[in-house]
């Protein structure tokens, strides 16, 4: 057999032989018989209801991630892990558009974290984590965790005053973890203190290890969604079939998202122009710490909470902090009823408290 034959179903739906698109499609399908996959994707639909907007958030996070890859690769061209601060200074002061690319990387990172929080909580409140989507949710949780490590590791790389001491403080929190804390902190830092050796580790983590793992996890996350389709909230699932409305995923849904991406791209440039990322003086590991050392906003809630547990009570605070990720990991296996029962409603209420707590503590940490 020289070529694969084109399935009758495909033949009837492809463009005409004479058209360019028809020719290209047949050229490909004769070599790669992927019609069943294309057919599956072409039939994928997205429910239309008043909560539909939340289906777009994951795509927005993916947009920011793409921006991170592009700007990150560009920054790597001039960044030198052996001369961290000088090379960033050069990017900011000398390289054309360097300051803009660095600032876009900064803003896109922050918006990506924010978007992921929105994505996670909207998925949570729509109860999309229930069977059969438990593992889509868990892979999403892993992606969230990796994004936070992305943020923490990237923060140190400019090696300015702020990033140095903020990382030192962050590492001292890891040190306090029971049993393995010290060992883990030493392995991560490459010593008992944050030094230039730490940059090498954080750099490799930030530009190599995490991107590879994240890309793989995104692939799995999206594959699950393509296979299963998006989740329908209970209010939609209980409608009679005749009243359910759907939109085609390709191309209606995807195309509707493109203007949003274009807008966000412009927003990133505008934010970077209006609020470029500052570069503080080079880190001096021996001088006294500058004022106003605070972690990035997405660690502020934890940071603020830990303040209430000084000294020996710190362990209690750390255990309290672990409740949120633990809850995220177990919720698909605790709250399983479709439609939601009383336990499902309780889980929702706990979620609301967690969300409010996160917001209040973040603002509190930000203002104090």
Partner 1 sequence: MADSSNTDGSKRRFLWILGGLGFGWLSAGIYPVYKYLSPQAIPDPFGEDGRALVERVTSAEVIKPGMGKNGAYGGHGLIVFRNQNGILKAFDSKCTHAGCNVEFQRDKIFCHCHGGTYNLEGKNIAGPPPRPLTELGVLEEDGLLYVYRLGKKKGDEVRA
Give the footprint of partner 1 on this chain (CB under 8 A). Answer: 165, 168-169, 171-173, 186-187, 189-193, 197, 285-293, 307, 310-312
Q: Give the integer Cα–Cα distance in Å for 68 and 273.
A: 17
Q: Give the integer Cα–Cα distance in Å for 229 and 44.
A: 7
We find the least distance from the C-beta atom of residue 335 to partner 1, in angstroms, to be 37
We find the least distance from the C-beta atom of residue 167 to partner 1, in angstroms, to be 10
Residue placing its CB nearer to partner 1 in the complex, 2 or 286: 286
Residue placing its CB nearer to partner 1 in the complex, 7 or 289: 289
Residue placing its CB nearer to partner 1 in the complex, 5 or 192: 192
Is residue 368 a contact partner of residue 166, using CB atoms and an 8 Å limit?
no
Residue placing its CB nearer to partner 1 in the complex, 289 or 320: 289
Q: Give the integer Cα–Cα distance in Å for 163 and 285.
A: 11
Under DSSP, the state recorded for 228 is H
Task: Supply φ then ψ for residue 245, to 5 degrees.
Answer: -115, 145
We find the least distance from the C-beta atom of residue 87 to partner 1, in angstroms, to be 23
Nearest partner of 64 among 119, 9, 127, judged by Cα: 119
Residue placing its CB nearer to partner 1 in the complex, 259 or 310: 310
Phi/psi-derived region of residue 179, left when phi > 0, alpha when psi is between -120 and 50, beta in every other case: left
Q: How far is CA 47 from CA 57, 142, 191, 256, in A?
A: 15, 26, 53, 14
We find the least distance from the C-beta atom of residue 72 to partner 1, in angstroms, to be 23
Residue placing its CB nearer to partner 1 in the complex, 16 or 291: 291
We find the least distance from the C-beta atom of residue 208 to partner 1, in angstroms, to be 14
We find the least distance from the C-beta atom of residue 195 to partner 1, in angstroms, to be 8
CA atoms within 13 A on the CB side of 316: 7
Residue placing its CB nearer to partner 1 in the complex, 72 or 317: 317
The string of DSSP codes covering 45-92 is EEEESTTGGGGGHHHHHHHHHHHHHHHHHHHHHH--TTSHHHHHHHHH
We find the least distance from the C-beta atom of residue 164 to partner 1, in angstroms, to be 10
């Amino acid at each position: 057999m020289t070529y694969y034959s084109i399935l009758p179903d495909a033949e009837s739906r492809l463009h005409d032989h004479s058209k360019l698109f028809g020719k290209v499609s047949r050229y490909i399908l004769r070599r790669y018989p992927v019609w069943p996959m294309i057919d599956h994707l072409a039939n994928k639909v997205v429910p239309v209801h008043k909560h539909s907007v939340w289906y777009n958030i994951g795509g927005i996070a993916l947009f920011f991630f793409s921006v991170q890859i592009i700007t990150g690769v560009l920054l790597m061209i001039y960044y030198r892990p052996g001369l961290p601060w000088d090379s960033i200074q050069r990017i900011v002061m000398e390289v054309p558009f360097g300051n803009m690319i660095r600032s876009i990387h900064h803003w896109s990172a922050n918006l990506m974290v924010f978007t992921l929080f929105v994505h996670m909580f909207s998925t949570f409140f729509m109860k999309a984590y229930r069977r059969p989507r438990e593992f889509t949710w868990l892979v999403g949780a892993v992606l969230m965790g990796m994004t936070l490590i992305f943020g923490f590791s990237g923060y140190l790389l400019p090696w300015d005053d702020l990033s140095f001491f903020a990382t030192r403080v962050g590492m001292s929190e890891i040190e306090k973890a029971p049993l393995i804390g010290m060992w883990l902190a030493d392995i991560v830092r490459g010593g008992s203190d944050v030094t230039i050796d730490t940059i090498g580790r954080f750099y490799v983590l930030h530009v190599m290890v995490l991107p590879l793992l994240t890309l793989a996890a995104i692939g799995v996350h999206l594959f699950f969604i393509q296979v299963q389709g998006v989740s329908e909230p209970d209010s939609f699932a209980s409608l009679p079939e005749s009243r359910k409305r759907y939109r085609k995923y390709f191309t209606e849904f995807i195309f509707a998202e493109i203007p949003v991406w274009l807008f966000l791209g412009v927003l990133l440039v505008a934010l970077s122009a209006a609020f470029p990322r500052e570069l503080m003086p080079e880190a001096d590991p021996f001088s006294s710490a500058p004022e106003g050392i605070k972690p990035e906003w997405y660690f502020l809630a934890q940071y603020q909470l830990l303040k209430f547990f000084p000294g020996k009570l710190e362990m209690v605070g750390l255990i309290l902090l672990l409740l949120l990720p633990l809850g995220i990991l177990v919720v698909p296996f605790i709250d399983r009823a479709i439609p939601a029962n009383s336990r499902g409603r309780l889980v929702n209420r706990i979620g609301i408290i967690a969300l409010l707590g996160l917001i209040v503590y973040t603002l509190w940490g930000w203002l104090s």
